[in-house]
Structure 1
Amino acid sequence: MGISRKKLLVAVLLQTALSGSNLYADVYRQNIDEGWKFRQARLDNWYDATVPGVVHTDLIDNGIIDDPFFRLNERAVQWVDKEDWIYETSINGEDKVLDSSNQYLVFKGLDTYADVYLNDSLLLKADNMFREWKVDIKGVLKKGDNKLKVYFHSPIKIDMPKWEKLPYQLESGNDQSENGGLLDRKVGIFARKAGYHYGWDWGPRLVTSGIWRSVYLEAWNDLRIENVQLIQNKVNSGSAKLSSVVEIISDDNVSGAVVTVKADGKLVSKETVNLVKGLNKVSLDYTIKNPKLWWTNGLGDPYLYDFTTTVTMNDGTQDSVNDRIGIRSLRVVTEKDEAGTTLYFELNGKPVFMKGANYIPSDNFLPRVTDEKYERTILDAKNVNMNMLRIWGGGIYENDIFYDLCDEHGILVWQDFMFACSLYPGDDEFIESVRQEAIYNVRRLRNHPCIALWCGNNENQDAWFGWGWKRRYEAMGNGYAEKLWNDLYNLYFKVLPEIVEEYGGGTGYRGSSPMSFPGMKSDGVNGDSHYWGVWHANDPISQYNTERSRFFSEYGFQSFPEYESVKIYAPEKRDHDIYSEVMMSHQRGGSFANGRIEEYMLKNFKKPKDFEHFLYVGMILQGDAIKTAMEAHRRDMPYCMGSLFWQHNDCWPVASWSSRDYYGRWKAQHYFAKNAYDMILVSPVVMNDKLTVHLVSDYFKTVSGNFSLKVMDMRGNVVYEKSMPLKTPVNGSELIFESEMSNVLGDKSKNDVIIYTEFETDGKAYTNIAYAAEQKDLNYEKANIIWSAKKADGGFDVTLKSDVFARGVFMSLSGIDNFFEDNYFDLLPGKEVKVHVSSDLSLAVFNEQLKVISLVDSYM
């Protein structure tokens, strides 16, 4: 964890008449976020700037460019990344800084090629977006006004010569160089910068520059705590054997310094040490009896201890650091079994099935992602029963608050290093930059209980062995293939794992995702898989039911955002066609992807009658597909022990594989995930005219309840029924019912029935519905849905009831300033359902605006 310093912003420098020593010499920090201005380097016009920020948002704020997310505006801003930019502000050199023996300027993030000047003295030449830059300014900072200037070089101009120098192109298929006016010159892989800024198959090409994280002055005397690492040596419910490794920087040799560690205010370790001038590492070993363990969402309390590490000298506090840390044991288990090699996560001695999604950055303009948006993003994972997010390797190592929130809410993080779907340079300068980036981020994040795994890259190994890259470079000759494989192997199987081993405190590492073993493509039998047969290969959705892997770390299916979201970025009626210029621009999979949505839809659903209903049916299509996959993976426990769909979120408004659109609106898929990822799942499925039902549980003990199955027609008439008491399996899956469909249909056709299942325990019903035919072949009747609304806390409670079975009931209001607790749900005949809606509308306006439709309404 990056050290969380809950300190005074002003140093308290107290001198005593008796000793003349500092009783309390804390670190003084002065944020530099005021008075910034910027200009295009070759022009003279200055404009106000926001720091943290990026050039694009400053240009938007000053009315120089329009919102690139609106309609086709992205095309008009491709000039921005070809220019150099200058940012300036003035710093007041205060006595309390100038009188300190240590004075530093700290940039938490510079994007990307930046020269930093203080009073025209060149302090720093930065070249990596992913790391902190810290520079000694003692003797450069002066009393009064000081000019701080940051000169950002165009990443295109810096990296183009690197591309031109190579005798071959490095694979980087998602770099939208053509959209940027660069033809085939894919230069993004040369910069240690977020790969998705150059475009991806769900994102625009918006190559940013700027001071994207905070910048501040830091000053201190005598000594300071540089870092605290908590190593969890051996943890169980009876005791936690821990070590705190405290890094202390001292101005001088010091005798008799006292280092203490407290957990929740209770002293757990104290040691008197002698310090030498410079960096000191002090290790304190201790045991906490009967610790409160940290658990993932659904399994228990993600308890966080408040650890306080303090250094005192001459009975006065010199520095103190607070960390919130969860105590847990966590192993990545890869062991041989009768089928191959496992991949699962063992938390506090228990195998845990991972339920979650892949996460990409929440905006192309990263400083726009507020703390509130981070909180909403993590809560949206927690509230649909996820316990893991995978931070994908083409984005960023996330802000501290992301990991803090995952700690608090019991969400594990699979953390990729920032490499994805590309080949990268292997020269010494590039590797050294990566080394420093990796050391910084592993050290920053290592104390977080949420960090479950470091992974070298996304799909680079599979691309080499399975996508034809190896063959293409072999065909070029000149030893290119051998060189590139050696570069790949060196980075992902030597450099990065060595850093995780040295600095990671025991966190597991895998060289690539997906991966079985180094030197081969993934196989599903060993390690994790990215399954794209459904979607990319046009496999039927039912293929999810039979595709197997030890761990699915990617799979997905596309949809558009809902209509109210589309109207924000494509408001004109002429835009409202999936093949319109605007809708195609907001679909980075191209005509293939929009055509694929339509193709799958017409295979599975009746043709929607207009654009708005096409978007709605697309939601149901996506939701059904991914629900099929999630349930199949869980039914296959313990062979399969993880299901992370692609993807949790979007970075701009777009048609994509996300379950939540850019504005945070839940798609049907996200609503469906809530039941599919619940702690108990009852999962009926019809394959080859055979009905099976599995009962799945993530609990570590049996749960007693009652199972019931009803096959009913569209008016609710039951044609087959079975009920029995059952106990759930322990942390596993069990087949509880099977039958030929002919035995449960009575005199009905499979097109005329639904299969309703329920497991009820302690007053909670876990329900699910299966279908024996494709949605387009089911004989749904026009539903008369009666609803009423009444005021409730923060909005309204809506009660709905239908005379016949209503598939995919969708409620909507104008705009997106609202949230539906449930949506796209199925409504049984005669059964009331109550849904809470968050809204600021009056009851009269709410009643006027609320629209309720079901699937039949999309084509009738």
Structure 2
Amino acid sequence: MLEVTPFGEGWVLEYEGGGLPAAVPGCVHTDLLAAGVIPDPFLGRNETEAAWVGRREWAYTTGLSAPSGHERTDLVFDGLDTAAEITLDGRLLGRTRNMHRSYRFDVTGLEGRLAVRFASAYTEAAAVRDRLGERPAAYAEPYQYLRKMACSFGWDWGPTLVTAGIWRPVRLEHWSTARIARVRPVVTARQSLGVVELRVDVERIRAGAGLAVAVRVGGQEARAPVEGTGAVVRVEVPDVRLWWPRGYGEQPLYEVELTLLHEDRVLDSWRRRIGFRTVELDRRPDEHGTAFTLVVNGERLFARGVNWIPDDVFPSRVTRDRYRERLGRAAEAGVDLVRVWGGGLYESEDFYDACDELGLLVWQDFPFACAAYPEEQPLRGEVEAEARENVVRLMPHPSLALWNGNNENLWGFRDWGWEEPLGGESWGEGYYLGLLPRIVAELDPARPYTAGSPWSGSWERHPNDPAHGTHHSWEVWNRADYAEYRSEVPRFVAEFGWQAPPAYATLRRALPGEELAADSPGMLHHQKADDGNGKLRRGLEPHFAFPDGDFDRWHYLTQVNQARAVAAGIEHWRAHWPVCAGTVVWQLNDCWPVTSWAAIDGDGREKPLWHELRRLYADRLLTLQVRERGLVLAAVNQAARAWNGDLALRRMTVDGVLVGRALLPLAAGARAVAVVDVPRGLRPEGPAEFLVADADGLRALYFPVPDREIPYPKPEFEVTVAPGAVTVTVTARTLVRDLLLQADRLDPAARADRGLVTLLPGERVTIGVSGWETPDVAAARAALYCVEPAR
């Protein structure tokens, strides 16, 4: 039987003629940080003091002694970052140049000093660039010239901390006769019959007869002989329970156990969990353009999505528990699809396991983003090898729903001025429209593939045409007010978003001793977007008087504006289902403490946007919108049952006077949207009026003018605090708009169970607070913020 020996202990990082203890898996930065050689690059402006780390060579060493009693011993690296040379007592075992692959070396009978020497990623990238020529990119760093996590070189939300190291686990595998080299399970479901076809590749020490594979799944068993170095075994499982995305059903998982046998002696085994389900992508043309609708088990979905970036600049620090916690909060916010963005990684098994269990569909980008990528060697062979390995590695996961060729590169070629400087040189099109779809069709035929995001499906149309395929909506954040989200109905919005700073406690930890201001040195360093603060200001001013010199108000209002902007988009697009079939917010998470588009900041604290997503992505949503025919209410019902009830409309003044009211019937079919015209007499007139819509505990508000034009009364409210299971209750005496308890101002560990809430006069809200050890009314009142009259 194959035996595995973990090989992560005893490594040393060579440094200044000596050695530092090295954590494997890990990276140079984390080892230097642990040894006190560099300061924490996440604090203040320390990032710049660690820039030298990515520009020099590094070496990891350890002793290798591998007697095993087996015929063969392999040294297996699950991940090396990135350009490395592996030697044993000076003897070359191999060279690597791809962070996204695993590597295996025969070390049978060998022992001595093992060294893994990493070239600077900058040096490796420069060598490829010199050989193949310049390629344009959205950023100046040379990430397109090597197969490495692109955002390691910095992004408009991430620091430039160019890593090197043994970033995934290492082990020794001892085996005899043969081992399982690869298993490719194709899982299908037809009604209640599940079918698993496993294509098995075997590595043998010698030719011979007597090898077989046996598989067990769902109480069913099958067996097939190994012919040469391969076998195919098929199992039919009757009466299977289908795996569904969250909100549509349960997520039953079936254990698959495959064993490699030699005359009934077990040589090796392979175990995975699978789920039975079908997934299709409807891209049919219709009267609105070209659809882009995910269909799971025959059910058409409006995808409630978020974009995922690597959860840490140093990805070896992301544990199974951390994945589960982050993704659990995505599910808690109503998310049912997570897009793994192309400037990052193929994530670890822990990520996809959590998605399987939580019912989160995964849209997986191949790692290409915002650049023209050469298609010649040495890159082409690396791209093919990594794609083949990772398609097979991830295909057992039922959560994996879609392969996507790249992020924004097809769009970039058309719109970002690449074509002329390329002068006919390769730029990646052959990957996205040729190599990658062929690999997916060959290896994972049960899953759809799309060439890129955005992509309209054809060069005959603009790549980012909102009427065809996927669309990225960035004109709004970059150049327009968020009200412009309502000007079009894309078929699928794969990226859009709005920035806001992280939580106050996150800023206090990340910028110790700094007097916080929107433009203080540390705040500016932790704002990586081009003219990010300028865009925050220009996005705020149409709605609120800009709070010059008042950091606390700026912090609150920019977070409110982020939530309002994303709400404007999602409410509009969900209300146009099934023409629009999904929204994927940029972005769920952050990789360090930074002002960004994230809903959960780099320290894991929720912004108000996260709480707003819980409302926006709930099965049922009320929204008031202005359309060509006038003011309407859209009742969005993504639940499996019809939504029938009463709709209460109230036209009110900001001083609390009821101007008019009506009770209307509400009827929205299952997975459908109902649109109700607001009676003309209930439509607000002038800046002092607004409309309230209530149904089944849900509420929608419509204010006809921006906040800065509304004559709000000075907000008045009472606050009480109940100890024990701590709650803060706020009772409004006046209209209180977008009340927010910033729990982290009470205690860095504190968390509130709700975000922004608007109270009418006489209404109250009770907010649960965890992690607050010394509840106090005065402290609670000081941590409460709301919209105030324009000054």
TM normalised by structure 1 equals 0.87
The residue number in structure 2 matching 1:776 is: 708
Q: Which amino acid aligns with 2:508?
A: K
Answer yes or no: is 1:683 the counterpart of 2:617: no
SS in structure 1 at match of 2:737: strand
SS in 2 for 1:603: coil
Matched position secondary structure for 1:730 = coil
Report the alpha carbon displacement of residue 685 of structure 1 after superposing the two structures with TM. 2.1
State the Cα distance separating 1:779 from its structure 2 match. Answer: 2.3
* 1:835 aligned partner: 767
- Which amino acid is the alignment partner of residue 739 of structure 2? V
Q: Greater CA deviation, 626-635 or 238-247?
A: 238-247
Offset, 1:226: 3.3
Is the partner of 2:428 in helix, strand or coil?
helix
Given that 2:188 and 2:277 are in contact with CA atoms closer than 8 Å, whether structure 1 keeps it comes out as no
Work out which of the residue numbers 175, 196, 209 in structure 1 matches 2:164: 209
Does residue 1:853 correspond to 2:789, yes or no? Answer: no
Paired position in structure 2 for 1:151: 117
- Aligned partner (choices 427, 436, 450) of residue 510 of structure 1: 450
The equivalences for 1:517-536 within 5 A come to 517-519=457-459, 520-536=462-478
Q: How does 1:64-79 map to 2 (within 5 A)?
A: 64-79=37-52
Is the contact between residue 356 and residue 397 of structure 2 (CA under 8 Å) also seen in structure 1? Answer: yes
Q: Secondary structure at the match of 1:507?
A: coil
- Correspondence for 1:371: 320
**Correspondences of 1:741-760 after superposition (within 5 Å):** 743-744=681-682, 749-760=685-696
Show the counterpart of 2:570.
630
Matched, 1:270 2:206: no
Q: What residue in structure 1 maps to residue 183 of structure 2?
A: 228
Whether 1:719 and 2:685 are equivalent positions in the alignment is no
Go from structure 1 to structure 2 and tell me whether the alpha carbon gap of 1:410 and 1:222 turns closer, same or farther (over 3 Å shift): same
SS in 2 for 1:189: helix
Pick one of 91, 95, 98 that aligns with 1:121: 91
Shift, 1:857, TM fit? 5.1
Contact 1:607 1:859 in 2 (8 A): no
Q: What is the match of residue 33 of structure 1? A: 8
Native 8 Å contact 1:416 1:454 kept in 2: yes
- Secondary structure at 2:471's aligned position in 1? strand
Alpha-carbon contact 2:544-2:790 (below 8 Å) kept = no
Measured at CA, do residues 563 and 842 of structure 1 come closer, stay the same or move farther in structure 2, by a change above 3 Å?
A: closer
Alignment of 1:670-709 (within 5 A): 670-686=610-626, 690-709=630-649
Partner of 2:741: 811
Task: Say if 1:636 and 1:30 are closer, same or farther in 2 by CA, change over 3 A.
Answer: same
Counterpart secondary structure, 2:4:
strand
Which residue type is aligned with residue 295 of structure 1?
W
The 3-state SS of whatever aligns with 2:148 is: coil
Cα offset, 1:723, TM superposition: 2.0
Q: 1:566 aligned to 2:566?
A: no
Counterpart pick for 2:588 among 635, 648, 670: 648
Q: Deviations over 1:439-460 (max 9, x none)?
A: 1111110111111111111111
**Aligned residues of 1:562 and 1:616 also touching (Cα < 8 A):** no
Q: Which residue of 2 aligns with 1:310?
A: 259
Q: What CA distance in whole angstroms lies between the structure 2 residues aligned with 1:161 and 1:248?
A: 36
Report the alpha carbon displacement of residue 251 of structure 1 after superposing the two structures with TM: 4.3
What root-mean-square deviation, in Å, do the aligned CA atoms of Structure 1 and Structure 2 show? Answer: 2.2
Q: Where does 1:566-585 land on structure 2 (aligned, <5 Å)?
A: 566-574=507-515, 576-585=516-525
Q: Distance in 2 between matches of 1:461 and 1:489?
A: 7
* 1:605 pairs with one of 544, 547, 563: 544
More divergent stretch after superposition (500-509 vs 227-236): 227-236
Does residue 299 in structure 1 map to residue 248 in structure 2?
A: yes
Matching of residue 138 in structure 1 with residue 87 in structure 2: no
For 1:315 and 1:370, how far apart are their aligned partners in 2?
A: 38
Q: CA deviation at 1:636?
A: 0.9
Change (3 A) 1:308 1:776: same
Structure-2 separation of matches of 1:88 and 1:448: 35
What number of residue pairs does the alignment pair up?
786
1:78 counterpart SS class: helix
Deviation larger for 75-84 or 782-791: 782-791
CA contact (8 A) 2:199 2:230 kept: no
Q: How many Å separate the matches in 2 of 1:744 and 1:316?
A: 79
Q: Is residue 319 from structure 1 mapped to residue 293 from structure 2 by the alignment?
A: no
Q: Which amino acid aligns with 2:222?
A: K
Matched-pair contact (CA < 8 Å) for 1:689–1:772: no
3-state SS of paired residue (1:482): coil
Give the structure 2 partner of residue 362 of structure 1: 311
Q: Could you tell me how far apart the structure 2 residues matched to 1:814 and 1:336 are? A: 54
Q: Tell me the distance in 2 between the aligned counterparts of 1:66 and 1:339.
A: 55
Change in Cα spacing, 1:572 to 1:749, as seen in structure 2 (3 Å) is farther
State the 1:384 CA deviation. Answer: 0.8
- Maintained 8 Å contact 1:258/1:270: no
Indicate the percent of aligned positions where both proteins have the same amino acid: 30
C-alpha displacement of 1:514: 0.3
Q: CA deviation at 1:690?
A: 3.6
In 2, Cα distance between the equivalents of 1:162 and 1:570?
Answer: 38
Is the CA contact (8 Å cut-off) linking 1:355 and 1:643 kept in structure 2?
yes
- Alignment partners' CA distance in 2, 1:392 and 1:523: 20
CA distance in 1, matches of 2:96, 2:781: 53
Aligned counterparts of 1:570 and 1:784: Cα–Cα separation in 2: 33
Letter in 2 for 1:159: A
**Aligned-partner SS, 1:675:** helix
Distance in 1 (alpha carbons) for counterparts of 2:46 and 2:329? 30
Residue 710 of structure 1 and its aligned partner are, at CA, apart by: 2.0
Shift of residue 201 of structure 1? 1.1
Which amino acid counterpart does residue 4 of structure 2 have in structure 1? R
The more displaced of 522-531 and 778-787 is 778-787
Asked if 1 retains the 8 angstrom alpha-carbon contact of 2:74 and 2:105, the reply is: yes
Pair 1:606–1:749, CA change in 2 (3 A): farther
Deviates more, 1:540-549 or 1:56-65: 540-549
TM-score, length basis structure 2: 0.95
Unpaired segments ≥5 residues, structure 1: 1-24, 176-185, 474-479
Provide the residue aligned with 1:593 in structure 2.
532
**8 Å Cα contact 2:304-2:617 kept in structure 1:** yes
Give, in angstroms, the shift of residue 715 of structure 1.
Answer: 4.8
Distance 2:161 2:611 in 1: 31
Which piece of structure 1 moves more, 317-326 or 245-254? 245-254
SS at match of 1:283: strand
Matching residue's letter, 1:447: P
Q: How does 1:323-338 map to 2 (within 5 A)?
A: 323-338=272-287
Task: Give the distance between the partners of 1:309 and 1:791, measured in 2 at CA.
Answer: 55
| Distance across 1 between alignment mates of 2:55 and 2:482 | 44
Query: How many Å apart are 1:149 and its aligned residue?
Result: 1.2
Runs of 4+ in 1 over 6 A off after TM superposition: none
Q: Which residue of 2 aligns with 1:802?
A: 732
Pick one of 233, 241, 258 that aligns with 1:283. 233
Conserved in 1, the CA contact under 8 Å of 2:136 and 2:372? Answer: yes
Once the 2 structures are TM-superposed, how far is the Cα of residue 398 of structure 1 from its aligned partner? 0.8
Secondary structure of 1:57 counterpart:
helix
Matched, 1:55 2:28: yes
- Asked if 2 retains the 8 angstrom alpha-carbon contact of 1:269 and 1:284, the reply is no
Segments of structure 2 that go 5 or more residues without pairing to the other structure are: none
Q: Can you list the C-alpha shifts for 1:43-102, whole angstroms capped at 9, x where unaligned?
A: 3021111111111111111111111111111112211112111111223434xx2x1122
Q: Is the 8 A contact 1:527 1:550 kept in 2?
A: yes
1:89 aligns with 2:62: yes
Letter of the 2:495 partner, please give it: E
Matching residue's letter, 1:481: G
In structure 2, the CA distance between the partners of 1:426 and 1:256, relative to structure 1 (3 Å rule), is closer
Structure 2 CA distance for partners of 1:258 and 1:282, relative to 1, 3 Å: same
Q: Distance in 2 between matches of 1:93 and 1:28?
A: 12
